[in-house]
């Protein structure tokens, strides 16, 4: 479609919006008839560490959502000369997991406790034993149970428990529902029903009764929906929340809300069996759609689902690019102090490109990127550290390579479990900020995981685009058309992305780096204990 056709398409209210609230950016993407992005808006934000809890304030949520939407609307006006007044469909996504409880009047009962918190170990261990199913610390049920174990008074008043994506959808539509992929990060999903596992819910209700809690789990959890199902429409109140100017009209169809894991799968066409994707940004996670269940419960592996309910093995690491961002900021400041200011984007490009020039094993330089705890390596808290052997060659290239390697070493340790389980992967696609510098993150990720990694043009903005695709599927799908078919036939076609195969020298270097990284974890643990 040319610019005039796109202007008419938007003016007729046929465009579809996807929004995603990530750890550092809130992004909005508008897509056209061919599913390509036609306008964008974003808003930068950061989590807060308050009273030992990683959180975001809900007023910041709405300020960010409204700013991102306003910038998207301005982008539409500038590019196409039309005012964005109507939408055919909307999808909202956010960081998975966490804890957002509300009472019967819709009052927030506790601060939003994000996925980044590692303060629910007691509950997670007990629930894993109770269910015979791995319950990670960041899951909503772990946060709920820990609040009960802590004797928090607000628990008795909970009427609705949700995630950030579920909260946004509820406010926009009035519907307390959730996509199955996002729901699988709240409470285990049954392979048979695609809903919350009834056997485990019954076991937990007994636990609640023993604690003197009057409500049951089914009373407070959202209704689980598959991709494409009716999840309500944008209300007048919801439209005003998105666009306080009152320009946006209500009525758009809204698809079930999903988490960033689900949107990553959709944005990389990784929803079919034996496909997988790696999302690398503030956190990093790999999602592999399984042919069969794993042989046993692994605390390092989450069992979640695709947006259509297929079982997925998820290796999730809390830390990825935050330390790269911190070092980039320092180097940006150094350049300015030296009278040679550079654009922040150029700092990132220089760092990643320099990583390709470093020694294959980083020359004895090791980076621990742990801003927060990392369950994969047994850490409840983190202390970012750069460590080197006395004879290490601390060149800029080795330093840069150690930052890139350090961002994905924990993921490698978790993925080794799936390798041992002989999990088959036909394709692995990468997306997220880690892959923005062409060829670098992709090539080194392939070396780390020992498998080819492909990246599409949408790698840097995959999440909100993936959410827009789910909204488009809700609006446009034919009777009986599966999400897998819709994506393969109507969205991606023959676009398989650009593939990078692992190179032996890089893989050997990463293995040597990993060995030193693992050996030095005792120093990281000592730093956590001593530095308070």
Note the pLDDT of residue 214. 94
Collect all residues with Cβ–Cβ distance below 8 Å to 500 and sequence separation of at least 6.
439, 442, 443, 446, 452, 453, 454, 455
Note the pLDDT of residue 264. 86
C-beta separation of 56 from 114 below 8 A: yes
Tell me how far apart the alpha carbons of residues 132 and 136 are, in angstroms, rounded to a whole number. Answer: 13
Which strands make up the sheet holding 302-305, listed edge to edge? 302-305, 311-317, 284-289, 275-280, 427-431, 453-455, 498-500
Per DSSP, 363 falls in state: G
The H-assigned helical ranges of 421-482 are 440-449, 462-476
What is the CA 179 to chain-centroid distance, rounded? 14
Q: Are residues 292 and 334 in the same domain?
A: no
Per DSSP, 487 falls in state: I
In a domain, 51, yes or no: no
Residue 351 domain boundaries: 322-405+505-530
In a domain, 387, yes or no: yes
In a domain, 141, yes or no: yes
Tell me how far apart the alpha carbons of residues 368 and 384 are, in angstroms, rounded to a whole number. Answer: 5
In a domain, 193, yes or no: yes
Q: Are residues 200 and 137 in the same domain?
A: yes
Q: Are residues 135 and 208 in the same domain?
A: yes
- Number of independent structural domains in the chain: 3
Q: Are residues 375 and 522 in the same domain?
A: yes
Nearest to 55 by CA among 108, 2, 131, 126: 108
Q: Are residues 357 and 481 in the same domain?
A: no
Cα within 13 Å of Cα(433), Cβ side? 19
Q: Are residues 400 and 524 in the same domain?
A: yes
In a domain, 289, yes or no: yes
Q: Are residues 363 and 443 in the same domain?
A: no
C-beta separation of 44 from 325 below 8 A: no
CATH number at residue 301: 3.30.420.40
Put residue 87 in one of left, alpha, beta given phi > 0 → left and psi -120 to 50 → alpha: beta
Q: Are residues 201 and 145 in the same domain?
A: yes
Q: Are residues 490 and 471 in the same domain?
A: yes
Note the pLDDT of residue 196. 98
Q: Are residues 312 and 329 in the same domain?
A: no
In a domain, 82, yes or no: no
pTM of the model: 0.82
C-beta separation of 460 from 432 below 8 A: yes
- Average pLDDT per consecutive 10 residues, the chain (532 residues; last block may be shorter): 94 98 95 95 95 96 98 98 98 96 98 93 96 94 98 97 98 98 96 94 97 96 98 98 98 97 89 90 91 87 92 92 97 98 96 98 97 90 95 97 97 94 89 88 94 76 89 96 94 82 96 97 96 92
In a domain, 75, yes or no: no
Q: Are residues 111 and 149 in the same domain?
A: yes
Tell me how far apart the alpha carbons of residues 231 and 256 are, in angstroms, rounded to a whole number. Answer: 5
Tell me how far apart the alpha carbons of residues 207 and 155 are, in angstroms, rounded to a whole number. Answer: 14
Rg (CA), the chain: 23
Tell me how far apart the alpha carbons of residues 429 and 264 are, in angstroms, rounded to a whole number. Answer: 9
CB atoms within 10 A of CB 303: 21
In a domain, 381, yes or no: yes
Q: Are residues 314 and 327 in the same domain?
A: no
b/e map 206-242, b = 16+ CB within 10 Å:
eebeeeeeeeebeebbbebbbbbeebbbbbeebbebb
Tell me how far apart the alpha carbons of residues 199 and 131 are, in angstroms, rounded to a whole number. Answer: 9
Tell me how far apart the alpha carbons of residues 116 and 112 are, in angstroms, rounded to a whole number. Answer: 11
């Amino acid at each position: 479609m040319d610019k005039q056709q796109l202007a008419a398409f938007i003016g007729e209210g046929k465009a579809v919006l996807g929004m995603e609230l990530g750890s550092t950016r809130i992004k909005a993407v508008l897509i056209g008839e061919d599913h390509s992005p036609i306008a964008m808006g974003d808003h930068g934000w950061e989590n807060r560490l308050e009273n030992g809890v990683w959180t975001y304030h809900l007023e910041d949520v709405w300020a960010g959502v409204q700013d991102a939407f306003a910038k998207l609307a301005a982008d539409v006006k500038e590019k196409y000369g039309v005012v964005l007044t109507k939408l055919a469909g909307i999808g909202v996504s956010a960081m998975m997991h966490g804890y957002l409880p509300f009472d019967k009047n819709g009052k927030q009962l506790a601060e939003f406790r994000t996925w980044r918190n590692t303060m629910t170990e007691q509950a997670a261990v007990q629930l894993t034993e109770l269910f015979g199913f791995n319950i990670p610390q960041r899951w909503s049920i772990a946060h709920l149970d820990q609040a009960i174990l802590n004797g928090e008074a607000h628990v008795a008043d909970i009427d609705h428990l949700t995630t950030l994506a579920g909260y946004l959808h509820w406010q926009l539509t009035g519907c307390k529902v959730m996509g199955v992929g996002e729901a699988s990060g709240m409470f285990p999903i049954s392979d048979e029903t695609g809903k919350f596992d009834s056997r485990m819910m019954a076991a937990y209700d007994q636990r609640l009764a023993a604690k003197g809690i009057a409500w049951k789990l089914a009373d407070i959890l959202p209704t689980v929906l598959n991709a494409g199902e009716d999840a309500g429409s944008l209300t007048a109140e919801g439209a005003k929340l998105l666009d306080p100017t009152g320009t946006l009209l209500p009525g758009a169809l809204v698809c079930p809300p999903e988490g960033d894991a689900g949107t990553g799968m959709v944005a990389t066409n990784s929803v079919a069996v034996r496909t997988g994707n790696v999302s690398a940004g503030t956190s990093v996670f790999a999602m592999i759609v399984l042919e069969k269940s794993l042989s046993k419960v692994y605390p390092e592996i989450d069992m979640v689902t695709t947006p259509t309910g297929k079982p997925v093995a998820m290796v999730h690491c809390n830390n990825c690019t935050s330390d790269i961002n911190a070092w980039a900021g320092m180097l940006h400041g150094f350049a300015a102090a030296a009278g040679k200011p550079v654009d922040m984007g150029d700092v990132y490009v220089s760092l990643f490109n320099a990583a390709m020039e470093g020694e294959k094993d980083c020359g004895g330089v090791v980076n621990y990127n742990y801003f927060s705890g990392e369950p994969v390596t047994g850490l409840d808290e983190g202390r970012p550290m750069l460590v080197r052997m006395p004879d290490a060659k601390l060149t800029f290239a080795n330093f840069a390579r150690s930052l890139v390697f350090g961002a994905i070493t924990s993921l490698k340790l978790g993925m080794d479990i799936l390798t041992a389980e002989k999990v088959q992967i036909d394709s692995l696609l990468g997306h997220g900020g880690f892959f923005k510098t062409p060829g670098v993150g992709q090539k080194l990720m392939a070396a780390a995981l020992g498998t080819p990694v492909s990246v599409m043009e949408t790698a840097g903005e995959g999440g909100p685009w993936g959410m827009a695709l789910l909204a488009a599927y809700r609006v446009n799908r034919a009777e009986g058309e599966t999400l897998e078919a819709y994506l393969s036939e109507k969205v991606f076609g023959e676009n398989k992305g650009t593939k990078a195969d692992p190179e032996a020298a890089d893989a050997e270097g990463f293995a040597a780096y990993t060995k030193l990284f693992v050996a030095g974890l005792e120093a990281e643990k000592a730093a956590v204990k001593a530095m308070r």
